[in-house]
Amino acid sequence: MHAVQMKGIVKRFADLTANDNIDFDLEQGEIHALLGENGAGKTTLMRILYGLYHADEGEMLINGTPAVIHSPKDAIRLGIGMVTQHFTLVPTLSVAENMVLGETGSITVNLPDVEKKVAAASERFGIPVKPQALIKHLSVGERQRVEILKALYHDARVLILDEPTAVLVPQEVEVLFDALVRLQNEGLSVIFISHHLNEVMEICDRITVLRDGHSVGTVRKVDTNLKQLANMMVGRENFGVTRQGQREKGRVELCIQGVHATDKKGLPSLKGVSLDVHQGEILGLAGVSGNGQAELSAVLCGTKKTTSGKVMVGDLNLTNAEPSAVCAAGVGRIPEDRYANMVGELSVAENLVLDQLDQFVNRGILDQEKIQENAKKLINEFQIKASPGDRVRTLSGGNMQKVMLARTLSQKPRVVIASQPTRGLDVGATDYVRTTLLEQRDNGAAVLLLSEDLEEIMALSDRIAVIYAGRIMGILPAQEATAEKLGLMMAGAPTLDRKGGVDAEI
Amino acid sequence: MELTLFLVGLIAATLRVATPLIFGTLGELFSERSGVLNLGIEGIMFLGAFTGFAVAAKTGSLWIGLLGAIVAGGLAGMLMALLSVRLGVNQHVSGLGITLLATGISLYSFRVIFGESKIPPSIEPFPMLPILPELHVLAPITNQYLLTYIGIAMIAVVWWVIGKTRFGLQIRAVGENPEAADAAGLNVYAIRTRALVIGGALMAVGGAFLTLAQLGSFTFGIIAGRGWVCIALIIFANWQSVNVLFGALIFGGVQALQLRLQTLGFKLPYELFLSLPYVVTIIALTLAGRNASAPSALLKAYRRE
Ligand SMILES: Nc1ncnc2c1ncn2[C@@H]1O[C@H](COP(=O)(O)OP(=O)(O)OP(=O)(O)O)[C@@H](O)[C@H]1O
Ligand SMILES: [Mg+2]
């Protein structure tokens, strides 16, 4: 029995065909993965199923009966729930209040009743959530659980999860997978989008691969392997980039000394961080998110003030310098949140010159020709699938990241600060970004790589530092680092080989 | 012939009514594209009308009067920037505060400077440009005030500044995503401040047009909600400078028509006529406002963490 059948779905955006005659079916009680490169059309297909977009052609059957889905309301009525890449909860309301936001049936809301129902659903599906908690007090992982619960609360029988693991730390991924298996046992069907092939192989029954808006095919997990999936996705089997060989260390290019800073709420989040990054090396900074990485990268980029400590680039003191001064000193950054670091309404060409306007302005007037030329050159060089005039908002995640990368690296920075540079990217784009970072290193740049992905850190870094609760727990040369050692340090166990991070305060 | 005369008169009046709206809306456009809703517009136009008049009356020069209005408007814009950009005060609150303050200061200064006299003081206003001979049929249309022509030219200038210059790109960037702009090394505060100062100056010129050109005198009800109309027009124009012209002309046209219908002696309560332009504005807004896309950062004070 098919819970969902989509037949011959076509969706065009102006002259771009995001979905080109796609067939997709979902069986009752299966977890079905949707794989594909950035911009392959996965989100678009699911938005059509959930009523957020309308297909130009094609038909949909829900539980075997033809269905017309005009809006999410229709989808919810048909038992379909979706957790989007960006959450849609109201932060100032409680979990229970968020559950009934869309309801229009009655004038009054019987909150205790709702809370009881939420608690019951949370118990039944093994998704721990407190109904009275305010959303703004919840972590990202908890918010995601609320989103899932919201769908279940509305009696969803089909659950769409768009890159749910992109925002989670490894422990939370485990919790999520446990919940999904329980849902499956209850007879629900799940559509799961991810770029991590091993996650897909761990949890899914069947896998559909999209490429350039076409469906490449659907395979059963038991019949396939990682290589075949990679081949279906990007047309080649081998992926993965690793650092080759040891390099002669240059002089210290980025020097961070005893930096202290506070977080949004004014609580100390960096407690005396000291790091040296040499020319021609990648220093990986591992750590579970929320241990001070965001604040450290903000301090290094000039968007956050330190309360004490010092930041030097070469001989230049950049402590608490303005972002423009940091830029001018040759520090390039690849930020974690690309949505927050691009101006979506501006074009690709305009975003590419935003931090170096002086070079593209002639007596205050934009030099359009030069800006276009620059865009064409970088689009070509970084293989960005977009034209100079496209608004950045309409680009897929991977292409947006490439724009960011192009802007930063085209200025030949001496120091590169890369935060989660491959989060949400497909295997092809991930390889591309990693290769580019290694190129920077080989050209003599000092690269600080902040990532939660241990595999990434170990593949790229010459040395690996671990941050925990705002302190550096230790620094290991890459040869000595193992996942177990790093894992322990990430959980807060200090090592003995460096006392710099382990203050007397502990 | 009668109809031609009627139409010519209507068009001529439309352009006159539209002029202050064009300046005001362009001023608001600068502010809003940079991410700041400036509700001080009503007061700043009033301040412009008063300052222009007072300076012109005291110096005897209309041009120095106009300059005075520009300076006063720019200062009011700077105060708005101090409150809403630097100090991060809620934009509605600071804007309404500026309107109250600017209105109050103007009224008070008027009393101090001109005293309480029976006959309201007046000046010799700007003349209309004699482009066609006075008796030509089309003369009423072409022979407008210089400021009307400047206003229309200003639309092109603003379009060019926003779209083609570094400053324009900076304004768009901080109005859409100030975090990204800051990280790219743009000074969000300085750019918004400059946009508000220029915006304030333009609003004040809109007000000064009334005293220095159209009327030659200053009355307390001179602005009469024109600032609020500009706030509506900018939504109608979807924040695009070129559309400002159409918005201002539609409103101006209905206003001019309304006056003519009244004088033609239609037997209806005159309040009904007075409300006509606003009704049309509301209808136009409902139609145009549906796919309006405001600058993403509008109303959001920018704070570094
Ligand atoms: N609203 C839109 N307007 C114009 N183009 C769009 C719009 N939404 C998506 N696109 C385009 O459609 C294509 C498919 O996008 P989609 O978001 O479905 O990709 P995806 O497979 O989800 O990628 P990712 O893994 O990066 O999230 C992309 O080229 C994208 O630029
Ligand atoms: Mg997507």
> How many Cβ atoms from other residues are within 10 Å of residue A388's Cβ?
18
> In 3-state terms, what secondary structure has residue B74?
helix
Is the CB of A324 less than 8 angstroms away from the CB of B177?
no
Which domains, ranges and CATH numbers included, belong to chain B? 2-115+144-289 (1.10.3470)
What average pLDDT score do residues A162-179 get?
A: 83
Per-chain mean pLDDT for chain A: 87
A13: Cβ below 6 Å to ligand 1? yes
Domain map of chain A by residue range? 2-234, 252-330+413-490
Strand order in the sheet with A331-334: A331-334, A415-419, A446-451, A282-286, A463-468, A471-477
Minimum mean pLDDT range among A106-110, B74-78, B262-266, B273-277: A106-110
Identify the weakest region by mean pLDDT among A100-114, A126-140, A333-347, B53-67. Answer: A100-114
Interval A221-227 mean pLDDT: 89
What are B68's two structure tokens? Answer: 């005075």
**Mean pLDDT on A399-405:** 89
The residues placing their C-beta within 5 Å of ligand 2, an ion, are A 43
Determine whether A412 is exposed, middle or buried from the number of CB atoms within 10 Å of its CB (0-12, 13-18, 19+): exposed
Residue A84 at interface with chain B, using a CB cutoff of 8 Å: no
Nearest to A438 by CA among A284, A329, A250: A284
The confidence score (pLDDT) of residue B119 equals 81
pLDDT computed for residue A503 by the predictor:
39
Please tell me the least confidently modeled range out of A215-219, B157-161, B178-182, B300-304. Answer: B300-304
Residue B129 has, within 13 A of its CA and on its CB side, a CA count of: 13
Measured CA to CA in angstroms, residue B217 lies from B15, B210, B211 at distances of 20, 8, 5
Interface residues of B toward A, Cβ cutoff 8 Å, are: 164-170, 172-173, 176-177, 179-187, 295-296, 304-305
pLDDT band at A370 (very low <50, low <70, confident <90, very high): very high
B146 vs B85: CA distance, rounded Å: 34
Helix (H, G, I), strand (E, B) or coil at B42: helix
Please tell me the predicted confidence (pLDDT) of residue A259. Answer: 95
Q: Taking each helix axis from N to C terminus, what angle separates B270-288 and B241-263, rounded to the nearest 10 degrees? A: 160
User: In which band, very low, low, confident or very high, does the pLDDT at A502 lie, cut at 50, 70 and 90?
Assistant: very low
* Cβ-based burial of A369 (10 A; exposed 0-12, middle 13-18, buried ≥19): exposed
CATH architecture of A252-330+413-490: 3-Layer(aba) Sandwich (3.40)
Helix (H, G, I), strand (E, B) or coil at A163: coil
Tokens 């989007």 sit on residue: A84
First to last CA, chain A: 59
Predicted confidence (pLDDT) per residue in A422-464, tens digit: 887 888 888 888 999 999 999 999 999 998 888 889 999 999 9
Q: Dig out the tokens for A236 from the structure.
A: 């080649």
Token representation of residue B229 = 């109309």
* Main-chain dihedrals φ then ψ at residue B136, nearest 5 degrees: -65, 145
Q: What is the DSSP letter of B128?
A: B
The pairing of beta strand A158-162 with beta strand A2-13: unpaired
pLDDT score of A215 more than 80 = yes
Name the average pLDDT for chain B: 91
Cross-chain Cβ contact A303/B183 below 8 Å: yes
Across B255-269, average pLDDT: 80
Interface test with B, best of A264, A304, A354 (most B CBs within 10 A): A354
Give the distance, in angstroms, between the CA of residue A340 and the centroid of all CA atoms in the same chain: 12
Least confident of A218-232, B145-159, B265-279: B265-279
* Average pLDDT of the segment spanning B192-209: 98
What average pLDDT does range A293-321 have in this prediction?
Answer: 91
DSSP string, A86-126: S----TTSBHHHHHTTT--S-SS--HHHHHHHHHHHHHHTT
CA distance A334 to A422: 10
The pLDDT, as a whole number, for residue A499 is 42
- Are residues A402 and A424 in contact, defined by beta-carbon separation less than 8 angstroms? no
Instruction: Say which residues have a Cβ less than 8 Å from residue A43's Cβ, sequence separation at least 6.
Output: A85, A162, A193
Residue A483 has pLDDT above 50, yes or no: yes
| Coil, helix or strand at residue B94 | helix
**ipTM for the predicted complex:** 0.80
In what side-by-side order are the strands of the sheet with A2-13?
Answer: A16-27, A2-13, A57-62, A65-67
CB of residue A39 inside a 6 A radius of ligand 1: yes
For B207-223, letters b (16+ CB in 10 Å) and e give bbbbbbbbbbbbeeebb
How far apart CA A478 and CA A244 sit, in angstroms, is: 12
* C-alpha–C-alpha distance, residues A176 and A178, integer Å: 5
Q: Give the pLDDT of residue A372.
A: 95
CATH of domain A2-234: 3.40.50.300
At residue A501 the predicted structure's pLDDT band, cuts being 50, 70 and 90, is: very low
Task: Tell me the pLDDT tens digit for each residue of A330-354.
Answer: 999 888 777 778 898 999 999 999 9
Banded model confidence at residue A103, pLDDT cuts 50, 70, 90 = low
Q: Residue B202 pLDDT more than 70?
A: yes
CB count within 10 Å of CB A56 equals 13
Report residue A287: phi and psi, to 5°. Answer: 160, 150
Q: Contact B213/B147 with Cβ under 8 angstroms?
A: yes
Greater confidence (A337 vs A478) lies with A478
CB contact under 8 A, A322 and B185: yes
Surface-to-core class of residue A103, CB atoms within 10 Å of its CB (0-12 exposed, 13-18 middle, 19+ buried): exposed
Amino acid at A58: G
Contact B158, B241 (CB under 8 A): yes
Strand partners, A366: A361
What confidence tier does A104 reach under pLDDT thresholds 50, 70, 90?
Answer: low
pLDDT value at position A500?
Answer: 43
Asked if B29 and B161 touch (Cβ cutoff 8 Å), the reply is: no
Q: Is residue B149 predicted with pLDDT exceeding 70?
A: yes
* Best mutation site among A20, A34, A43 for ligand 1 pocket (most ligand atoms within 8 Å of CB): A43
Q: For residue B217, give both structure tokens.
A: 């005198």
Q: Is A321 helix (H, G, I), strand (E, B) or coil?
A: coil
Q: Report the separation in Å between the CA atom of A102 and the middle of ligand 1, taken as the mean of its atom positions.
A: 27
Lowest mean pLDDT among A46-60, A416-430, B8-22: A416-430
> What predicted TM-score, i.e. pTM, was given to this entire model?
0.77
Section B60-66 average pLDDT = 96
A21: Cα separation from own chain's centroid: 28
DSSP assigned state of A84: -
Query: Which amino acid is it at A18?
Result: A
The predicted structure's pLDDT at residue B114 = 92
Lowest mean pLDDT among A15-19, B58-62, B79-83: A15-19
Can you give the pLDDT at residue A414?
93
Residues of chain A contacting B180 with CB distance shorter than 8 Å: 340-343, 354
The SS3 of residue A7 is strand
Each residue of A212-249: b (16+ CB within 10 Å) or e? ebbbbeebebeebeeeebbbbbbeeeebebebeeebee
Bridge partners of B138, per DSSP, are: none
Contact A354 B167 (CB under 8 A): no
Q: How many residues does chain A have?
A: 506
Whether the per-residue pLDDT at A171 is higher than 80: the answer is no
* pLDDT score, position A15: 80
Q: Nearest 5°: CA angle at B84, between B188 and B86?
A: 50
Neighbouring residues of B303: CB distance < 8 A, sequence distance ≥ 6: B88
Identify any residues that bridge with B161 across adjacent strands, giving them in sequence order. Answer: none
Structure confidence by residue, pLDDT tens digits, A176-188: 999 999 999 999 9
Closest atom of ligand 1 relative to the A19 alpha carbon: 14
Q: Is it the case that residue B19 has pLDDT exceeding 60?
A: yes
How do residues A244-300 score in pLDDT, each as one tens digit? 767 677 899 999 999 999 987 788 889 999 999 999 999 999 988 778 888 999 999
Distance CA A172, CA A234 (A): 29
> How far, in Å, CA of B145 to CA of B157, rounded?
19
User: How near does any CA of chain A get to the CA of B289, in Å?
Assistant: 19
Q: Is the pLDDT of residue A496 over 50?
A: no
Written as six digits, the tokens of A468 are 């925990």
From residue B261, alpha-carbon distances to A19, A241, B277, B279 in Å are 57, 78, 13, 16
Amino acid letter for position A99: M
In chain B, pLDDT over 70 holds for what percent of residues? 99
Q: What is the pLDDT of residue A239?
A: 65
Q: How far is the CA of A396 from the centre of ligand 2 (A)?
A: 7
